[in-house]
Amino acid sequence: MTGSMQNWPLLVWKLIDHAAATAPRQEIVTQSVEGNLHRTNWSEVRMRAKKVAQALDRFGIQRGDRVGTLAWNTYRHVECWYGISGAGAVAHTINPRLFEDQIVYIINHAQDRILFFDLTFMDLVTRIAPRLTGVERFIVMTDRAHMITAPAEFECYEDLLAEQDDTFPWVELEETEPAGLCYTSGTTGNPKGVLYSHRSNVLHSFAATQAAVFGLSARSVVMPIVPMFHANAWAIPYAAALAGAKLVLGGPHHDAVTLQRLIVEEQVSITAAVPTVWLAMLQHLTETRTDLGALQRVIIGGAAAPQSMIKAFEDDFGVEVMHAWGLTELSPLGATATLSAEAAKLPRQQQLDVKSRQGRPLFGIEMKVVDENGRELPRDGHSAGILKVRGPWVVAQYFGGGEGTILDEGGWFDTGDIATLDSESCMQITDRSKDVIKSGGEWISSVELENAAVACPGIAEAAVIGIPHPRWGERPLLVLVRKPDSTVAAAEVREHLAGQIAKWWMPDDIAFVSDIPHTATGKILKTELRKQFSDYCSVAR
């Protein structure tokens, strides 16, 4: 027997149809690549997305074909997203911050047939075009006036749209067909592709909209600072359409000055980015004695949010912090650190401790931690193990997945994170499995050490790596960046750490550097840091 309800496939283009029907005049504002502040709305963006779909259809793009985008957060990128998947093709977002060879590898691996790209990447695409074996058309996402420097074979996006009408019917698909493709940033080997389905994207958008994540409504003004090429901008362009919210997009601009101006002038109520962006923003706010206007909530994820950052937002600027955890393979959202009814009764400091964790799983995500033999560990808040997840927006297999199945017998996906779970399933990451420091057979949490160090006055950023040690196997090395004008010394940092961490966790060495290397998605690049300190290792005590 089956239920007697309708079979309404969960398709991504239904999100923008809904936005255009219920919030047609709701704005989409872009600080554009060309420089001007551009305003459009859900109705126009849907109409233009249909033109993108129509053009792709005329080019002979078939269901399931991949179409690449190398682009910032702009209204044109949103049009491409919906237009590509509405034509039945796969919107493949490419991270322009990767090395050139990785970009070429990804485009060729995905077999992208068409590449849409921003003016910013004209030189890059001109250089790599001869190596992009499967790309048939190169489309510059700009108007005719800005095409002056473009090679003759590159086409103009606005000219292309002018040739279409907006009558193209979205392609009716099975909800299990693919809608999007995103590659992991390759910090652990070659980038791997995650092929999202229409169904997984729509379900994930419902989850992203709820109060425990973005808390979006038709009166929200949401600005994803996290780029659309980084794990779908955490679903914001989909969730904003679902809610009929106003969307503010920063284009190629990631500097604190532009972002703060947009937040204030466009009355942004919710925004989201990785901690490195917020670090710069908080410094800018302190230096200029400015504020964040009508901002109510900030989502911090992609790397651990230091408690000092959470406190600064909440206490100094009255902005609620939602610490979020996820990964490309989870579309990306998995958990948020909301306060449970029990946690909400705790004193402020303990609440901050809860908010500093990675949080409780969203409905749709199951979690467990297991030991090295796959045995489930107790949810006691102490036992750290490999974090596994499963759910309808969790990857089942990598795209082109030569590596075979990546799930265990129970259908669980290994996140590569080491974590604890407590009795309310509140998860805390202690490390990524490849970053774990094992000293005398026990794990030292680099994340916890980093959090403690970055709370020390005068410290801007901290990273901990393991260095070989003849007796203990490994010992932690603390690498620090000072805040501008700070002269804080190693002894003061040690003093600050004492009492906050177990004695045997105290780093043997502290090194000050002017800069810590980051990955293309804003995480500390520990592989590079280990290389930088490889000589250091050999002389370490």
Q: Of the listed 265, 442, 443, 504, which one is catalytic? A: 443
- State the minimum distance, in angstroms, from the CB of residue 275 to ligand ADP: 8
Q: Is 451 in the site for ligand ADP (CB under 6 A)?
A: no
Q: Is 303 in the site for ligand ADP (CB under 6 A)?
A: yes
Cα-based distances in Å from 39 to 45, 89, 269 = 10, 27, 18
Closer of 164 and 430 to ligand ADP (Cβ)? 430
Closer of 325 and 393 to ligand ADP (Cβ)? 325
Q: Which of 523, 526, 529, 533 binds ligand ADP (CB under 6 A)?
A: 523
Residue 69 annotated in active site: no
Q: Is 307 in the site for ligand ADP (CB under 6 A)?
A: no
Q: Which of 521, 526, 529, 533 binds ligand ADP (CB under 6 A)?
A: 521
- State the minimum distance, in angstroms, from the CB of residue 251 to ligand ADP: 21
Residue 184 annotated in active site: yes
Q: Which of 236, 327, 395, 525 binds ligand ADP (CB under 6 A)?
A: 327
Residue 50 annotated in active site: no
* Residue 237 near residue 228 (C-beta atoms within 8 A): yes
Of all helices (H) and strands (E), which one includes residue 530? helix 526-532
φ, ψ dihedrals at 65, nearest 5°? -65, 150
* Residue 10 near residue 203 (C-beta atoms within 8 A): yes
Q: Of the listed 329, 448, 450, 461, which one is catalytic? A: 329
Q: Is 112 in the site for ligand ADP (CB under 6 A)?
A: no
Closer of 161 and 324 to ligand ADP (Cβ)? 324
Q: Which of 83, 88, 251, 332 binds ligand ADP (CB under 6 A)?
A: 332
* Residue 330 near residue 365 (C-beta atoms within 8 A): yes
- State the minimum distance, in angstroms, from the CB of residue 360 to ligand ADP: 13
Q: Of the listed 345, 434, 438, 531, which one is catalytic? A: 438
- State the minimum distance, in angstroms, from the CB of residue 79 to ligand ADP: 25
d(CA 184, CA 191): 5
- Show the CA angle centred on residue 55, arms to residues 52 and 60, nearest 5°: 130
* Residue 232 near residue 180 (C-beta atoms within 8 A): yes
**Among the listed residues 15, 398, 350, the one whose alpha carbon sits nearest the alpha carbon of residue 205:** 15
DSSP E strands, 425-536: 427-432, 437-439, 442-444, 459-469, 473-482, 509-513
Closer of 31 and 415 to ligand ADP (Cβ)? 415
Q: Of the listed 40, 93, 184, 271, which one is catalytic? A: 184
Q: Kindly identify the residues of this chain, within the stretch 150-209, that bind ligand ADP according to CB under 6 A.
A: 184-185, 187
Closer of 86 and 522 to ligand ADP (Cβ)? 522
- State the minimum distance, in angstroms, from the CB of residue 133 to ligand ADP: 25
66-93 CB burial, b ≥16 within 10 A, e <16: bbbbbbbbbbbbbbbbbbbbbbbbbbbb
Binding segment (CB under 6 A) for ligand ADP, from list 86-94, 200-208, 283-291, 413-421: 413-421
Residue for token pair 């001869």: 130
Q: Is 231 in the site for ligand ADP (CB under 6 A)?
A: yes
Residues 6+ apart with CB under 8 A from 531: none
Q: What is the x/- site pattern for ligand ADP, positions 17-56, by CB under 6 A?
A: ----------------------------------------
d(CA 352, CA 344): 10
d(CA 19, CA 380): 44
Q: 465 has which bridge partners?
A: 477
**Among the listed residues 287, 317, 294, the one whose alpha carbon sits nearest the alpha carbon of residue 484:** 287
* Residue 168 near residue 502 (C-beta atoms within 8 A): no
- State the minimum distance, in angstroms, from the CB of residue 298 to ligand ADP: 13
- State the minimum distance, in angstroms, from the CB of residue 203 to ligand ADP: 18
Torsion of CA 11, 13, 15, 21, to 10 degrees: -130
Q: Is 417 in the site for ligand ADP (CB under 6 A)?
A: yes
Binding footprint of ligand ADP, residue count (CB under 6 A)? 24
Q: Is 448 in the site for ligand ADP (CB under 6 A)?
A: no
Q: Kindly identify the residues of this chain, within the stretch 342-381, that bind ligand ADP according to CB under 6 A.
A: 358
CB atoms < 10 A from the CB of 169, how many? Answer: 10
Closer of 301 and 507 to ligand ADP (Cβ)? 301
Q: Is 304 in the site for ligand ADP (CB under 6 A)?
A: yes
Q: Which of 85, 269, 328, 430 binds ligand ADP (CB under 6 A)?
A: 328
Q: Is 418 in the site for ligand ADP (CB under 6 A)?
A: no
Give the dihedral sign, CA 266/36/233/187.
negative
d(CA 475, CA 361): 32
Active site residue ranges: 184, 329, 438, 443
Note the residues at the interface with ligand ADP (CB under 6 A).
184-185, 187, 231, 301-304, 323-328, 332, 358, 415-417, 429, 432, 519, 521, 523
